[in-house]
Amino acid sequence: MAFELPPLPYDYAALEPTIDEATMKLHHDKHHAAYVANLNGAVDKHPDLGKKTPEELLQNLDSVPEDVRAVVRNNGGGHVNHTMFWQIMKPKGGGTPTGDIGSQIDTDFGSFEDFKKKFNEAAAKQFGSGWGWLVYKGGKLEIITTPNQDNPLSQGLFPILGNDVWEHAYYLKYNNRRPEYLAAWWDVVNWDEVNKRFTQAKK
């Protein structure tokens, strides 16, 4: 198979109490696995696609054959989004961001608290399923949202941080209380990994 489901970098229960074990099992083993399987199904029809990374496919969706373009957009997006999502979280994470990303957040949003408030508001308002993102554009950080599994790479933007607001990401624990999930999520953010992604974005 061209693409593989990456293992979780920690135990299923490692993000308790913010994200429960049952949600992590379902989210990683069922949802993410399905995106990988469907992406591989598209590649089976066009083996040349398997020579590219999923990120390259998303950056150049217009070059993906039309009969599988929607499949690649949705499932390639789902694969890339979730691979990042697991990495930017960690047990005993959270706290105030340090390093370059901490400085840039203060410069562009005034403070970490102001940034969190704006990010949570944007992600809470995303209608239906989707993602809230922090991206780097023209020397500044910006908050955007995308529907479904769309990834900022398809808009020529590099995602530094993203939070999944599909109901499968939070419904078992938070039910319909998306803002409560968004507020709690900062307790598991891996700022070391976010700093690495910020360095990548600036390149």
Domain segments of the chain as ranges? 21-87, 99-202
Which CATH topology does 21-87 take? Helix Hairpins (1.10.287)
Check: CB of residue 71 under 8 Å from CB of residue 42.
yes
Residue in the structure block whose two tokens are 């023209």: 138
Q: Is the pLDDT of residue 18 over 80?
A: yes
Return d(Cα 171, Cα 80) in angstroms, integer: 22
Q: What is the mean pLDDT of residues 160-185?
A: 98
Q: Is the pLDDT of residue 123 over 90?
A: yes
Per-residue pLDDT reduced to its tens digit, 138-159: 999 999 999 999 999 999 999 9
| Segment (H or E) for 67 | helix 66-71
Return d(Cα 74, Cα 63) in angstroms, integer: 15
- The two domains 21-87 and 99-202 share their CATH topology (first three levels equal): no
Q: How far is CA 140 from CA 154, 162, 189, in A?
A: 19, 16, 21
CATH of 99-202, one of 3.90.78.10, 3.90.190.20, 1.10.3720.10, 3.55.40.20: 3.55.40.20
What does the DSSP 8-state code read for residue 111?
A: S
Whole-number average pLDDT of the chain:
97
Q: What is the mean pLDDT of residues 5-16?
A: 98
pTM of the model: 0.96
1 band by pLDDT with thresholds 50, 70 and 90: confident
Per-residue pLDDT reduced to its tens digit, 46-105: 999 999 999 999 999 999 999 999 999 999 999 999 999 999 999 999 999 999 999 999
